[in-house]
Structure 1
Amino acid sequence: MIKVYPLGTGGAFTKHYHNNYIFELGDRKLLVDAGTTLRFSLPAAGYKETDVTDIVITHLHADHVGGLEEFAQRCMWLYSYKPNLWIRAELAEGIEDVLKAGLFTDGLQLSDYFHVHYEKDGFQLGNDYEIEFIKTDNLHAKDMLSMGFKLSDKNDNANIIYTSDIGKHEEALFDKHFDENTKALFHDISFIQTPVHSYIDDVIAYYSDKLALPSLYGMHYADDIDAVEIEKKYGIQMVKIQQPLVFP
């Protein structure tokens, strides 16, 4: 079973919480991205730092990584706790550059705060769950390394696909990762046309013959969007803050 708990659904300028998630996977809790609002969104959802067993960062914008430094410090200094940090190998230098000013003091390194795993294509969580990286370099922002992923529950023969932030979704080819066990596509959507996020009408047009639209979950949307009205208009699902989703 895959339980997806949205800590927030907002973009960089939200007045609420950034589009970060807890994926509950058996006895593991995977934090997907750690924006600057994490210090508020995590406790608001009923989680504490020591609940998080694993972390993955999709790219290095502040609404996805800006809260990781404080999270690491809280884990070390308040709880003497080290979660797993899964890093796409090509992002290793960038993540260390983001974190080193605050964390690499008195000879400390990233491995003092986390069990660090550098991975090229993905990783396994226990025996039942597998994360496959879907690389989207330059497709969210020019000259930026970024990725989505495919998360598979091998026990239940179910998977979901997560885009993270994506501008050129038609080039990312997330649909090439669909199979008969794909239960949901969590997709970045925007209601204005912008080069760094996916315009809602373009997303609907692209996926209408590739995926049953109720299996498409819109995320990372502006605060003033009426999610219920969007669901009625487009026939998709909208991810809603602190409203968990369970698959299959």
Structure 2
Amino acid sequence: MIKVKPLGVNGAFTKYYHNNYIFELGNRKLLVDAGTTLRSSLIESLYQESDITDIVITHLHSDHVGGLEEFAQRCKWVHNHKPTLWIRTELAGGLLQIISSGLCTDGLKLSDYFNLEFIDDGFIIDAYEVELIYTDNLHAGNMLSMGLKINDIQGYKNIIFTSDIAKHKEAQFDGYIDQLTVALFHDVSVVPNAVHSFLHDVIDYYKGKIELNKIYGMHYQDDIDIKTLNKETGINFVTRNTTYEF
């Protein structure tokens, strides 16, 4: 079973919480992205830093990485806890630069805060395989980014997670959909947007490729009428602090 809990579902400028997630994979809890609102969204979701065993960052915008420094400090100084940080090799330079200046003081190294694992294609957590889907320059120009495909090896199912994506057609996430895919968590802006997928473009593109009720819309604008859009579009808009089980 894969459990997915959105800590937040909205965009960079939300008055609520950023589009960050916890995937419960067996006894492990994988934090996908750590935006600046993490200090509040984690607590409101009834987690604490020591619950998180693994972390992966999909790209380096602040709503996805801006809370990682404080998270690391709380893990070390409050909980005496060291999670594993899975780092895509090409992202390592930028990511380590962002967090090192605040963490690497008084002789401390990043390895004092995290178990560091550098990856190119993916990684294994218990009976789950996390595959990287490269989306470089398809969210924002000159930005490395990626989505994920999370495979439950024993349960014979998988979930695809796009993270932020503008050019989903070029990203070709549909090429990762197979008969074992139970959910597609997809960026869906409700207004046309240069760096995010437009809701109706997503629906048109995936018709006939996956059942629309398997699409879970995320990173949408604040204060939209989710219930109405669910009925009109046939997809599901994720809500924060709701646990989705697959």
* TM-score normalized by the length of structure 2: 0.99
Once residues 224 and 168 of structure 2 are traced to their aligned partners in structure 1, the CA distance between those partners, rounded to angstroms, is: 21
Percent of residue pairs bearing the same amino acid type: 60
Once residues 47 and 160 of structure 1 are traced to their aligned partners in structure 2, the CA distance between those partners, rounded to angstroms, is: 22
Once residues 156 and 226 of structure 1 are traced to their aligned partners in structure 2, the CA distance between those partners, rounded to angstroms, is: 34
1:107: Cα distance to partner? 2.2
- Give the root-mean-square deviation of aligned CA atoms: 0.7
Cα-to-partner distance string for 1:115-141 (whole Å, 9 max, x where unaligned): 000000100001x10000000000000
Name stretches of at least 5 consecutive residues in structure 1 with no aligned partner.
Answer: none
Once residues 110 and 144 of structure 1 are traced to their aligned partners in structure 2, the CA distance between those partners, rounded to angstroms, is: 23
Question: Is residue 35–residue 68 contact of structure 1 (8 Å, CA) maintained in 2?
Answer: yes
Question: Is residue 168–residue 195 contact of structure 1 (8 Å, CA) maintained in 2?
Answer: no
Once residues 19 and 61 of structure 1 are traced to their aligned partners in structure 2, the CA distance between those partners, rounded to angstroms, is: 12
Residue 23 of structure 1 corresponds to 23
Residue 232 of structure 1 corresponds to 231
Deviant stretches of 4+, over 3 Å: none
Cα-to-partner distance string for 1:45-79 (whole Å, 9 max, x where unaligned): 00000000000000000000000000000111112
- Whether 1:86 aligns to 2:91 is no
1:110: Cα distance to partner? 1.3
Paired residue total: 246
- Whether 1:188 aligns to 2:154 is no
Once residues 149 and 81 of structure 1 are traced to their aligned partners in structure 2, the CA distance between those partners, rounded to angstroms, is: 25
Counterpart amino acid of residue 220 in structure 2: Y
Alignment of 1:69-80 (within 5 A): 69-80=69-80
Residue 137 of structure 1 corresponds to 136
Once residues 107 and 11 of structure 1 are traced to their aligned partners in structure 2, the CA distance between those partners, rounded to angstroms, is: 36
Cα-to-partner distance string for 1:136-172 (whole Å, 9 max, x where unaligned): 0000000000000100001110000000000000000
Once residues 136 and 243 of structure 1 are traced to their aligned partners in structure 2, the CA distance between those partners, rounded to angstroms, is: 27
Mean CA deviation greater in 213-222 or 223-232: 223-232
Question: Is residue 214–residue 236 contact of structure 1 (8 Å, CA) maintained in 2?
Answer: yes
Name stretches of at least 5 consecutive residues in structure 2 with no aligned partner.
Answer: none
